[in-house]
Amino acid sequence: MIHNSTIDSQTNHKSIRKFKDQTLTRDQLETLYTVFQHTPTSMFMQNASLLHITDEAKRAKIRELCNQKYVGAEGDLFIFVVDLYRNYQIRKQLGKDDGRVHTTDIFFQAVEDTMLAVQNVANAVESMGLGYVDLGTVNDHPLEMLKTLDLPKLTFPILGLQVGIPDQKPQLKPRLPLEFTCFENEYNKDFDVKELKDYDQVVTTYYDLRDFCWDVFYFS
């Protein structure tokens, strides 16, 4: 396997859920915004937007909706938005019809644009010595989240990132063996669950140790 600083960072990624009580600098923010801006985009439609949530009332409401106490706490909170509203407005203000803005294929392209942007920004975060955790819980209560963020029609907050200076050192989470996830030409439909026995034991040990560490962290 090839090793370099980028690959080593990616293969050693650990989700960080506790951050130091310090926000990002303006240079760090502008860097992440620029990385977001330069993410590949389908048909050059740029159907993604990024919200940096600094308002304490909004952060508290988002934390409530996500039901995770680290959301919007220390560090910086970002919400990645699938955004068809901007192109809809461009067409409308130029006197054109909606075009394909309402079609399923364009929506999925917008989702792809946005998810690529999430990972692009996440890689940049770790390259600067920072940490992050993905927040899929921004979709737990989508209608309430839309109201909280005051988003217009044709937008959807698909994923969040909590970013900051790590204040913990979690273990590396074990992944499924490659032979169960990566294939040549054809998907392997035949496998025996017994072959996962060793992996199951590794995962069990990981969670036993993680739960112990969290208990020590919260109660020591």
The pLDDT of residue 217 is: 43
What pTM was estimated for this model as a whole?
A: 0.92
Q: Compute, in degrees rounded to 10, the torsion defined by CA atoms 209, 214, 217, 220.
A: -80
| Closest by Cα among 168, 173, 171, 172 to 217 | 168
Read off the tokens for 83: 């955004």
Phi, psi dihedrals of residue 87, rounded to the nearest 5°: -70, -30
The pLDDT of residue 182 is: 96
- Residue 210 pLDDT class (50, 70, 90 cuts): confident
- Distance, CA of 16 to CA of 134 (rounded, Å): 9
Low-confidence winner among 43-47, 89-93, 208-212 (lowest mean pLDDT) = 208-212
Q: Is the pLDDT of residue 88 over 70?
A: yes
Domain ranges of the chain: 5-164, 178-219
Q: Is the pLDDT of residue 218 over 50?
A: no
The pLDDT of residue 9 is: 94
- Supply the mean pLDDT for the chain: 94
The pLDDT of residue 209 is: 80
Q: Is the pLDDT of residue 205 over 80?
A: yes
Q: Is the pLDDT of residue 105 over 80?
A: yes
Residue 112 makes CB contacts below 8 A (sequence gap 6+) with: 42
pLDDT in tens, 110-147: 999 999 999 999 999 999 999 999 999 999 999 999 99
Number of other CB atoms surrounding residue 135 within 10 Å: 23
The pLDDT of residue 216 is: 42
Q: Is the pLDDT of residue 211 over 90?
A: no
Read off the tokens for 64: 């409530």
Number of other CB atoms surrounding residue 184 within 10 Å: 5
Mean pLDDT within 2-28? 96
Q: Is the pLDDT of residue 220 over 50?
A: no
The pLDDT of residue 115 is: 98
pLDDT in tens, 152-180: 999 999 999 999 999 999 999 999 999 99
The CATH superfamily label for domain 5-164 reads NADH Oxidase (3.40.109.10)
Going by the DSSP 8-state scheme, the letter that residue 75 receives in this structure is: S
CB neighbour class for 148 (10 Å; exposed up to 12, middle 13-18, buried from 19): buried
pLDDT in tens, 62-81: 999 999 999 999 999 999 99
Read off the tokens for 10: 């990616």
- Distance, CA of 44 to CA of 28 (rounded, Å): 26
Q: What percent of the chain has pLDDT over 90?
A: 92
Pairing outcome for strands 155-164 and 76-83 = antiparallel
- Distance, CA of 201 to CA of 180 (rounded, Å): 16
